[in-house]
Amino acid sequence: MPVPLLDLRAQHARIRDRVVAAMMQVVDDQAFILGKPVSDLEAHVAALSHTTYAVGCASGTDALLLSLRAVDVGAGDEVITTPFTFFATAGTIHNVGARAVFVDIDPKTFNIRPDLAAAAVTSKTKAIIPVDLFGQVASIEEVMRLAKGIPVIEDAAQSIGARRKIDGVWRMAGEVATIGTFSFFPSKNLGGYGDGGMMVTQDKALYDRLMRLRTHGSVKTYFHEEVGYNSRLDALQAAVLCAKLPFLVEWSAKRREHAAIYDAAFADLGDVTTPYVDPANESIYNQYTIRVPRRDALKAHLAAKGIGHSVYYPLPLHLQECFASLGYTQGACPESERAANEVLSLPVYPELTRAQLDDVVAAVRGFYGK
Ligand SMILES: *Cc1c(COP(=O)(O)O)cnc(C)c1O
């Protein structure tokens, strides 16, 4: 039997009654925009993230967009970020009129190198966006320290519920940054049944600004202090997410369990570099991503065996056609470029059975003749 990279139907089957009941409540109430499901979810996510405030919005992309606006990033400004991430991290920088400044990653964690971010700061730098790639929190305390007051927007789209021990205290994804952003895209660890996103912060002024930005820059209906967006979190999505949230801790633990099984099973394969998790971190493994020299050959082998896999991400953002005008060329971020050629993500979702895990292991080992 083929093993998919992600099986959302397996998850849905286990929680169907709860989720459908929550959705039907919204349908019966005919209250689709904001309201109790959204404020409930905001309270739950703020509690999970150890933050005072949370603001739901239409997507993880919009969470970045609204956050950039909330810290006053606009035309002519620079925002420092990593090129080894999903497109939205930099696309939103462009869409607020600013310039994305790409700095390279740590090859072990795939996360931004704080020292390189610090070295790229200029008088135009208005924000830094580290990404918690694949479910592992970036060196957020280092980025914050070196940012010296420049706002830090933590793209935590892949890391909701992940944590990092800083000075002996567990800090949650999104907790330490100026603003943390989450995505509820269906394939994220906490996925909705459609698009959704959220921003968390400890700062009341930023909270007020984010609330205003998501409703056309208006606090009092039909009076607009600034031009914002229509970027509300749908009540149906919030109801689904409220029903799913109680399972998140268990699901993340399952992903870690599966990662540990792979780590052990691939330990003797010299060509396979298993994911490195910083000892300070507890990853939620949004992806289980190995590095291998003959990546495309392994990819073809897994495809032939029916084993789901994907390359996140095949082309770093500094080399994307749409950013050609920024002037980056091959070699500008060598570790990101090398990672793009070597990474391969394997199925790690919580509902994988032991037999499925064994199939993935056998297929990978088989490629190396083991
Ligand atoms: C998924 C993702 C986003 C965008 O989230 P959407 O909800 O799809 O808009 C942004 N950044 C990263 C790192 C992501 O993985």
Rounded to whole angstroms, how far apart are CA atoms 360 and 367?
11
In a domain? residue 346: yes
In a domain? residue 216: yes
Rounded to whole angstroms, how far apart are CA atoms 365 and 30?
53
233 and 254 in a single domain? The answer is no
Q: What is the CATH number of the domain that holds 261?
A: 3.90.1150.10
Distance 314 CA to ligand 1 centre (A): 16
Picking from 279, 288, 185, 252, the residue whose alpha carbon sits closest to that of residue 48 is 252
Q: Which one of 153, 158, 199 would you pick to mutate in the ligand 1 pocket, going by the greatest count of ligand atoms within 8 A of its CB?
A: 158
The domain in which residue 331 lies consists of: 248-367
- In tens, the pLDDT along 74-118 reads 999 999 999 999 999 999 999 999 999 999 999 999 999 999 999
Q: What is the CATH number of the domain that holds 144?
A: 3.40.640.10
Going by CA atoms, what residue is nearest to atom 3 of ligand 1?
Answer: 60
pLDDT surpasses 90 at 51: yes
277 and 197 in a single domain? The answer is no
Going by CA atoms, what residue is nearest to atom 2 of ligand 1?
Answer: 157
In a domain? residue 83: yes
What is the average pLDDT across 149-159? 98
pLDDT surpasses 90 at 61: yes
- In tens, the pLDDT along 340-366 reads 999 999 999 999 999 999 999 999 999
What is the average pLDDT across 258-273? 98
One-letter-per-residue 3-state SS of 74-92? CCCCEEEECCCCCCHHHHH
92 and 216 in a single domain? The answer is yes
Distance 355 CA to ligand 1 centre (A): 31
What is the average pLDDT across 233-245? 98
Distance 29 CA to ligand 1 centre (A): 30
Q: Look at residue 1 in the predicted model and tell me its pLDDT.
A: 87
Going by CA atoms, what residue is nearest to atom 5 of ligand 1?
Answer: 60
pLDDT surpasses 90 at 158: yes
Task: Please identify, among 194, 228, 246, the residue that sits at the C-terminal boundary of a domain.
Answer: 246
Amino acid, single-letter form, for residue 332: A
pTM for the whole structure: 0.98
CB of 350 closer than 6 A to ligand 1?
no
CB of 157 closer than 6 A to ligand 1?
yes
Pairing between strand 125-129 and 78-81? parallel
Report percent pLDDT > 70 for the chain. 100
pLDDT surpasses 90 at 165: yes
- In tens, the pLDDT along 282-298 reads 999 999 999 999 999 99
In a domain? residue 116: yes
235 and 277 in a single domain? The answer is no
Going by CA atoms, what residue is nearest to atom 7 of ligand 1?
Answer: 60
In a domain? residue 77: yes
308 and 193 in a single domain? The answer is no
User: What is the tally of structural domains in the chain?
Assistant: 2
Picking from 258, 291, 88, the residue whose alpha carbon sits closest to that of residue 189 is 258
| Relative orientation angle of helices 235-244 and 8-29, to the nearest 10 degrees | 130
Rounded to whole angstroms, how far apart are CA atoms 67 and 243?
26
Task: Please identify, among 216, 246, 276, the residue that sits at the C-terminal boundary of a domain.
Answer: 246
